[in-house]
Structure 1
Amino acid sequence: MFLRFTSRTNADGTVVRYVALAHNRRVDGRIKPDVLMNLGRVDQVDVAGLRRLAASINKHFGDSDGLTDAAEAGAVARAAPLEAIDARTIGATWLLDGLWHRLDVGTAVRAATGARRFTTNMERVLFALVANQAIAPMSKLSAAEWVREDAAVPGLSTMDEDHAYRAMDLLVDADTQDRVQEAVFLAVANLLNLEVNLLFFDTTYFERDDEDGGDDAFRRFGHSKDHRGDLPQIVIGLAVTKEGIPVRCWCWPGNSNDQQILAEVRADVRDWKLGRVITVVNRGFSSADNLDYLRRTGGHYIAGMRMRDGNPLVEAVLSRQGRYQHVRDNLRVKEVRLDGHDARFVICHNPDQAQRDQQHRDEAIARVQAELACIAEQRARDAGRPPGDRTRARNEAAHVRAECALRDHPTLGRWLVQQPNGRLKVNTAKVKAEAKLDGKYLIATSDPHISAEDVALGYKNLLEAERGFRDLKTQLLLRPVFHRLEHRIRAHVLICWLALLLTRVAERSCDQTWRNINRQLGRITQVTLAGPAGTVTQTTPLTPEQKAIYHALSIQPPARVTAFDPA
């Protein structure tokens, strides 16, 4: 580390000298000076103090090869060693901050709150909460401590839990919420050149410990996909593009029905004036009322259909003969049209999945037959006992309990049927019916122009919405939620959505998982060193892998020296 002096001659002939902090690095076997930080004009800075600070840095790192003259070498011997007074991770927060500005999230927040006055920059506090949710998710109280002690958040040195709650309340303001989501979506669509003619929608739930009181309660009992009907819940909706980029999120009370959910979703997306939009939903939203509503509200839909609920329409579609069209190695499609129905139906067949379905069914049937054989063998042994024997009566009761447990088994019970005498046997009709559905799923669409291949591939991309929910619940810790008030819960969901958006953009640009990106950049540390000559804040050197991540996102890495304060 040394001071590098340069000079420039003005038009009037005067010479102006400048000083910069630099260090030597070896490039292809040759020593090359690398400027870390420009310090300004020589006549406007304390050169002697800067020399002492540079000498202290060299002594701390045990490197004095880059000194420019003997005076600086003597300063090293006289300088006291530097002491590390602070160390924070900066790599991941720096990356997310770059994406935050490129997606205009901060601009949207500032525009929505421009007339309000705060002593603390609420936009920076909101970014800190989003970054914490993406990097090391925790409660808002712990997130404030994370900002103060552990992470270097650009533009924010400290915050407390009151700042966090104030930023959350600001985010769920009706005007702010709509502006932020619309501005972010338009920025992402332009930045990544996304196709937004297909929107994939799905819902999930997270539970709370008790139910709200009152008619306008938010935490309510309802149908739970996680089979936890004993807990009140909140319904979360997420719309994503086929690239997996989250477009918008919603929150509803736990007892909201599908019709109410779809009405709000279509109304909100229609206000964005996206043009031709096809909504893709899974089997949970494929009721006749929901599909009729989607058709009435404009646009078109692609919806998965239930094949095992005895719907005559579905049975008519599946019974139609026809040839499959090969789409991909593991996907074949067959289009079916029915008289009197304007919807088109596409039967999809996956040969690999058909083999897996058959294998799972054969294994289940083998288990059922083994259990029935065991019960029959034990009952046959007891048949030789006298009719009034108490042991025989106890054993018969045990056999009945075993049969009831097998009949009520969550996976094996579906393959059984009870005979008139009360005994169980394998339901051969059920086995044959299921064999006809191996590897198949049924899709309906109202769009008369989209091809059967695009219908099938578009529905498969609905997995991106499901993957988004999985990451929200696991990596970003959408639940458990530590809030009770409705507006705080809504704010928490929005913060998780923003974190998912930033991580998805990073994954798509780097072609890596966010877990790997976060692990790599989490090793970049910002260290503050102090000594008699002053303080300096320096970032650890970047590895080639870390440089590649920043380069893929076109984000300038953090500077090696971010602060230089001579005493």
Structure 2
Amino acid sequence: MFLRAKVRKKDGKEHRYFSVVENRRIGPKQQKRMAQRTVLYLGEINDGQEAAWRKSLEVFDESCQRYSTLSLFPEDREIPAEASSSIQVKLSEMELRRPRMFGNCWLGCELWRQLGLQAFWEEKLSSQVQRETVPWEKVLRLLVVNRLIEPGSEFRLHRQWFDPTAMAELLETDFAVAEKDRLYRCLDRILEHKQALFVHLRQRWQDLFAAPFDVLLYDLTSTYIEGEGEQIPQARYGYSRDQRFDCKQVVIALVITPEGFPLAYEVMDGNTSDKTT
């Protein structure tokens, strides 16, 4: 095995991307040719990292008194006593099991933390923690990250989305956080804190981005409801922006800054006229 570098130019600057490759003979017995197989892609590494990788890929052959390339993790050689942090790996038997989405989930949780929403909801929902096996803040965080990455219903989150992600590890909990009835009940517990959330977000936008509030934008949209919507008192027939005049709907008003930071929203009757809001 050895290191192979590919040079690419981007924005007038030269970048070198490294891979660990090995030579293999392929083709019929009489027409074998040498081909390179990528074992590990390293990406763009610095000089120190490159030197460390080259060192790990070269061994000294005592019989020939020279360095030569050898398998990165040779399974037929004993690990030297001085190599205390080394292990032997059989690359031919390595398997990838239960791969999970991590990066986008981690970023969603990090945005949640930087906006101060973890501390905010832990405080607001703390009185209900004793009666639950999973804190409501974690359930809400799961719902928000799901909406951010791959919006869908609570039932789809429960049945399909949760398992292939790393949310269980990031939330330090198990599948109980994605139990469908718990997901359905979560939003009912946060509605009473709506105004406090608006105040909190306004302060965070100001602290993080120095967002001005001299000019605000206001807009309306609507969302229709499948079925009769008998338990939704605000569901009414009205002007449908989705061209679903056969369905009841609710009207949603949103206030944002010119930069797009949301400040407040309100849900109104589905037959509310724009000019009366």
Give the whole-Å Cα distance in 2 for the aligned partners of 1:144 and 1:95. 21
- Find out whether 1:182 has 2:199 as its counterpart: yes
- Find out whether 1:253 has 2:262 as its counterpart: no
1:128, distance to aligned residue in structure 2 (A): 1.2
1:96, distance to aligned residue in structure 2 (A): 1.4
**Are the counterparts in 2 of residues 26 and 32 from structure 1 also a CA contact under 8 Å?**
no
Show the counterpart of 2:257. Answer: 241
1:120 to 118, 134, 147: 134
Q: Against the structure 1 CA distance between its residues 145 and 163, is the aligned structure 2 distance closer, same or farther, given a 3 Å change threshold?
A: same
**Are the counterparts in 2 of residues 208 and 233 from structure 1 also a CA contact under 8 Å?**
yes
1:211, distance to aligned residue in structure 2 (A): 4.1
Is the partner of 2:127 in helix, strand or coil?
coil
Show the counterpart of 1:109. Answer: 121
- Find out whether 1:70 has 2:88 as its counterpart: no
Q: Which TM-score applies when normalising by structure 2?
A: 0.63
Is the partner of 1:229 in helix, strand or coil?
coil
Is the partner of 2:51 in helix, strand or coil?
strand
Give the whole-Å Cα distance in 1 for the aligned partners of 2:78 and 2:215. 63
Letter in 1 for 2:115: L
1:80, distance to aligned residue in structure 2 (A): 10
Q: Which TM-score applies when normalising by structure 1?
A: 0.33
1:146, distance to aligned residue in structure 2 (A): 4.2
Show the counterpart of 1:94. Answer: 106
Structure number with higher helix proportion:
1
Show the counterpart of 1:196. Answer: 213
- Find out whether 1:209 has 2:226 as its counterpart: yes
Show the counterpart of 1:482. Answer: none
1:14-73 CA deviation, whole Å, 9 max, x = no partner?
xxxxxxxxxx9963264249xxxxxxxxxxxxxxxxxxxxxxxxxxxx7338x9951469
Give the whole-Å Cα distance in 1 for the aligned partners of 2:165 and 2:189. 23
Give the whole-Å Cα distance in 2 for the aligned partners of 1:77 and 1:258. 67
**Are the counterparts in 2 of residues 201 and 238 from structure 1 also a CA contact under 8 Å?**
yes
1:84, distance to aligned residue in structure 2 (A): 3.2
Q: Against the structure 1 CA distance between its residues 125 and 68, is the aligned structure 2 distance closer, same or farther, given a 3 Å change threshold?
A: farther
Give the whole-Å Cα distance in 2 for the aligned partners of 1:237 and 1:68. 69
Q: How many residues align?
A: 206
Show the counterpart of 1:221. Answer: 237
Is the partner of 1:115 in helix, strand or coil?
helix
Letter in 2 for 1:193: A
1:101, distance to aligned residue in structure 2 (A): 0.6
Letter in 1 for 2:252: I
Give the whole-Å Cα distance in 1 for the aligned partners of 2:262 and 2:243. 26
Show the counterpart of 1:232. Answer: 248
Is the partner of 1:86 in helix, strand or coil?
coil
Give the whole-Å Cα distance in 2 for the aligned partners of 1:77 and 1:89. 25
Q: Spell out the pairing of 1:527-566 with structure 2 (5 A cutoff).
A: none
1:433-473 CA deviation, whole Å, 9 max, x = no partner?
xxxxxxxxxxxxxxxxxxxxxxxxxxxxxxxxxxxxxxxxx
Give the whole-Å Cα distance in 2 for the aligned partners of 1:224 and 1:198. 28
1:380-422 CA deviation, whole Å, 9 max, x = no partner?
xxxxxxxxxxxxxxxxxxxxxxxxxxxxxxxxxxxxxxxxxxx
Q: Against the structure 1 CA distance between its residues 77 and 180, is the aligned structure 2 distance closer, same or farther, given a 3 Å change threshold?
A: closer
**Are the counterparts in 1 of residues 99 and 164 from structure 2 also a CA contact under 8 Å?**
yes
Letter in 1 for 2:147: Q
1:243, distance to aligned residue in structure 2 (A): 0.7
1:170-220 CA deviation, whole Å, 9 max, x = no partner?
222x1x222223212211221111011111101011112344459x82211
Q: Against the structure 1 CA distance between its residues 193 and 68, is the aligned structure 2 distance closer, same or farther, given a 3 Å change threshold?
A: farther
Show the counterpart of 1:171. Answer: 190
Show the counterpart of 2:39. Answer: none
Give the whole-Å Cα distance in 2 for the aligned partners of 1:76 and 1:99. 39
Give the whole-Å Cα distance in 2 for the aligned partners of 1:167 and 1:210. 22
Q: Spell out the pairing of 1:497-516 with structure 2 (5 A cutoff).
A: none
Letter in 2 for 1:245: F
Show the counterpart of 2:22. Answer: none
Is the partner of 1:106 in helix, strand or coil?
helix
- Find out whether 1:139 has 2:153 as its counterpart: yes
Q: Gapped runs of 5+ residues in structure 1?
A: 1-23, 34-61, 262-567
**Are the counterparts in 2 of residues 212 and 218 from structure 1 also a CA contact under 8 Å?**
no
1:68-124 CA deviation, whole Å, 9 max, x = no partner?
951469962799955433210111111111111111112221111122222112212
Q: Gapped runs of 5+ residues in structure 2?
A: 1-41, 54-70
Show the counterpart of 2:26. Answer: none
Is the partner of 1:239 in helix, strand or coil?
strand
Show the counterpart of 1:85. Answer: 97
Give the whole-Å Cα distance in 2 for the aligned partners of 1:137 and 1:181. 22
Q: Against the structure 1 CA distance between its residues 63 and 79, is the aligned structure 2 distance closer, same or farther, given a 3 Å change threshold?
A: closer
Q: Say what the alpha-carbon RMSD is for the aligned residues.
A: 3.4
Letter in 1 for 2:215: L
Q: Against the structure 1 CA distance between its residues 121 and 147, is the aligned structure 2 distance closer, same or farther, given a 3 Å change threshold?
A: farther
Letter in 2 for 1:138: G
Q: Spell out the pairing of 1:284-295 with structure 2 (5 A cutoff).
A: none
Letter in 2 for 1:143: L
Letter in 1 for 2:80: A
**Are the counterparts in 2 of residues 211 and 220 from structure 1 also a CA contact under 8 Å?**
no
Q: Percentage identity across aligned positions?
A: 23
1:160 to 175, 179, 188: 179
Give the whole-Å Cα distance in 2 for the aligned partners of 1:239 and 1:26. 45
**Are the counterparts in 2 of residues 222 and 233 from structure 1 also a CA contact under 8 Å?**
yes
Is the partner of 1:198 in helix, strand or coil?
coil
Give the whole-Å Cα distance in 1 for the aligned partners of 2:209 and 2:91. 52
Show the counterpart of 2:47. Answer: 28
Letter in 1 for 2:184: Y
Show the counterpart of 2:10. Answer: none
